[in-house]
Amino acid sequence: MPYKRVIAFGDSFTRGDELADCSTNGRIAPHHTYSLSTWSALIAKELGIEYDSMTIGGRGNHWISMSVSTYLEKHRDALFIINWSWFERFDYIDAETAQWTVTHPRHNDQLNHYFYKHIDNEKWNLHRNLQQIHSTICLLEQNNINFIMTCMDPMLYNKENFVTPLQKQVNHYIVDFEGMSFLEWSKHKGFELGPNGHPLEKAHIEAAKYINTIITKESQNEH
């Protein structure tokens, strides 16, 4: 493999929330520690290369896309693993603080109440997220960056509602877990979840094995 490191991008499911080593390993991602027991970290271990995690819990796909673009220039020799988040989240830069923030259905404040009552809707969520994912794919390909993409939101895999040419094109690049998201697959397989709903160690171990078979097949096809 030509990779020198794996860099993971995503939210708490990629950071490894509720895994035993997430808050104790001493390695710092932006604002948070991250686990070395996630399936993305285990892939790096299997490949024998370094691992970094550019992850923040609760973030949406605009922030993830921005993070990917930030790391392109300095890490052309990396394998990017991008786990897209839920489409209902909306990232933006706060005009007063100039800091990235995000709307979230669980946030109990006036702005979020207004957003999810008057603005948020399934069709808009699908189209804006597809655009973000597609633009990231184009950027990665133009810069010859190797990448693996998965997605937490089942909406991406829905072939019945709002199917567009853009959705079909994006789906071509998305690695699913037997037609499901990582969380859905973990539940389907009966793997243990933490109290806050994050898959625990066994799920990540098996997910790493699953993704590694895909990496191996792609490597064999290249030769």
Around 203, how many Cα atoms within 13 Å sit in the side-chain half-sphere? Answer: 25
Q: Is 130 exposed, middle or buried (0-12, 13-18, 19+ CB in 10 A)?
A: buried
- Percent of the chain scoring above 70 in pLDDT: 91
**What gap in Å lies between CA 135 and CA 146, rounded to an integer?**
15
Spell out the domains of the chain, with CATH numbers in brackets: 5-222 (3.40.50.1110)
pLDDT of 68 reads 96
Residue pair 53/59 in contact (Cβ under 8 Å)? The answer is no
Q: Give pLDDT tens digits for 114-135.
A: 999 999 888 889 989 999 999 9
Q: Give pLDDT tens digits for 66-115.
A: 999 999 888 889 999 999 999 999 999 999 999 999 998 888 889 888 99
Phi-psi region of 30 (alpha: psi -120 to 50; beta: other; left: phi over 0): beta
- Is residue 30 scored above 50 in pLDDT? no
pTM of the model: 0.90
Residue 1, both tokens: 């493999």
pLDDT of 162 reads 58
- Is residue 168 scored above 90 in pLDDT? no
Rg value, the chain, Cα: 17
Residue pair 152/176 in contact (Cβ under 8 Å)? The answer is no
